[in-house]
Amino acid sequence: MPAPAQDSALQDAEEQGDSGFDEDYPEDAKGRKKGSTSQATRRDQNRIAQRDFRLRKQQKVIFIFIRAYC
């Protein structure tokens, strides 16, 4: 629950018609941007990221195991 000062500021913004969204944002720019990366490049990047994630997870498990049993 917002603090009373924040609550009154929110009410003031609503009264002035400020929705909190950037109204200068172009209409055709909604959604995910179409990048120039190919599917193969994305697949390679995901493979690297998944491998790094698995290595970090394995290191954490080993660290916890060592702390618990040593």
Model confidence pLDDT, tens digit, residues 6-49: 556 556 655 665 555 555 556 666 776 666 779 999 999 999 99
Mean per-residue pLDDT, 55-60: 95
At CB < 8 A and 24+ separation, what contacts does 45-50 make? none
**How would you label 10-47 residue by residue, b for 16+ Cβ within 10 Å and e otherwise?**
eeeeeeeeeeeeeeeeeeeeeeeeeeeeeeeeeeeeee
Distances (CA, A) of 42 to 6, 28, 54, 60: 42, 24, 18, 27
Whether the full predicted model's pTM is greater than 0.85, yes or no, is no
The pLDDT-based confidence of 70 (bands split at 50, 70, 90) is: confident
CA distance 35 to 41: 11
- Residue 20: the pLDDT is 57
